[in-house]
Amino acid sequence: MSGIADPETGVRISVRAPKLTKSHRIHERLESKNYRGEITIEGGNDRMPKLNPQLETVGSGFAAFLAPPGPEVIRFTVGQPDFETPGPVVEAAKLALDRGETAYTRPQGSEELCQAVAKHLTKFNISVEHEDVVITPGCKQALLYGMMATLSPGDEVLLLSPAWPSYDGMIRLLGATPIHVPVNRENYHPNMQNLEEHVSPKTKVIIINSPNNPTGAVYSREETRALVEFAVKHDLWILDDMIYSTLVWTEEGYTSPCEFAGGPERTITIGGWSKGWAMTGWRLGWIASTPEVMAGVKKINVSAATHVPTFLMPAAEVALGLESEVSIMADSFRERRSIVHEAFSSLPGVIVPEPEGAFYILCDVSGTGMTDIEFATEALEQAQVQVIPGSLMKGGEGLIRVSYATSAENIREGVRRLRHWLESRS
């Protein structure tokens, strides 16, 4: 058999080479005597470099239960609005393309868009200069930037648990350690005593997400004040994920840590367009903080992404100016929130704290006699209803997450199926 022989194994590897000139053949004969190629073959020695070992500590989040089922299945799993992106936003992107806005531009985002974000944040009593706003490829990237700017390997990050799984994965990728702190089970609000018991000299950051995914909780002003005082006491950074700030069903609404003494100088505010404007696939987010923090974030952004697509920036600016479209979507979720809470509360063995924001409820299904994994698996197989089991999040055992970003008809039909299934088991 013709080919190249690996000198360490003696195995010959057949090859097909292009025709060579005479001088090339002479050079080939000289080189072949000392062939030391790095070809990997079955049964040979492993000479590949190793992957980042931190990858082994990162889970896949909700992925196992997010796979699209058949059309007959009612999905309570997808965390995105069931609305089309508002027409004016789409049209603005098209017009930008028609104008040829496809070249490199200002890395942190156009000045006009950064000004629009800074103006939007004033609605929540957050005061930042537009120079201290960076537009990112999605809210996730903004969160990662915030972590990269504040964390070193070995640092610890406090998560109010159960927490959105991506926080845990990002923290681990950076060589830091997520510390999951249980919230009050009856309403999923912060438990300050638990926080005091979990903070340590290694703690560097606390992440706040209110309105919350997966719990649907919205922290009160006094709770947010207490979290800021805790951060000041222990000298922590606050990463405030406000992605659901337009979807709040409590009278107080979303409260920023920047409203309280010690908050503005240690808070990194992170948000985006995905949820409130039905723009999940546009992958647009923002991050804002003090000039000192943002100087570091700008370095990270230039190295990691340069900037978001140029032609999307005018569209994002238009979105921030919309009021009626955003209100219509929010009002629809508010109505569905009442429907889903009443419906799921009526199921045997299921306990549902009243949802206060976002478009999620977190149900305690331990009263059914099943684990959350058993509940989610059997619900899909026997009732043709898809939910997220809480065990995919640390601290979520015995719970299921339900997204009500679906029609009222789907909510009612899904609950009808679940009731029939649960009653047939008894």
Per-residue pLDDT, 44: 52
Domain's final residue, options 320, 336, 369? 320
Q: Which residue type is seen at 192? A: M
Q: Are residues 9 and 121 in the same domain?
A: no
Over residues 231-246, the pLDDT tens digits come to 999 999 999 999 999 9
**Which H/E stretch holds residue 178?**
strand 177-182
Check whether residue 329 and residue 308 sit in a common domain. no
CA R_g for the chain: 26
In whole angstroms, give the CA distance from residue 231 to residue 262.
Answer: 8
Residue 16 to residue 219: CA distance in whole angstroms:
66
Q: What is the CATH number of the domain that holds 386?
A: 3.90.1150.10
Encode pLDDT of 179-194 as tens digits.
999 999 999 999 999 9
Residue with tokens 């922290």: 219
Q: Are residues 391 and 352 in the same domain?
A: yes
Looking at the structure, tell me whether residues 188 and 337 fall in a common domain.
no
For residue 116, the enclosing domain spans: 99-320
Same domain, 156 and 301: yes
Decide: 105 and 277 in contact? Cβ < 8 Å: no
pLDDT beyond 50 at 34: no
- DSSP helix/strand/coil, 161: strand
Instruction: Determine, yes or no, domain membership for 17.
Output: yes
Write the pLDDT tens digit of every residue in 252-288. 999 999 999 999 999 999 999 999 999 999 999 999 9
Q: Please say whether the beta carbons of 363 and 399 come within 8 A.
A: yes
- CA 313 to chain centroid, in Å, comes to 21
**Per the domain annotation, does 93 fall within a domain?**
no
| Residue 205, SS3 per DSSP | strand
Domain boundary among 303, 320, 337: 320
Q: Give the total number of structural domains in the chain.
A: 3
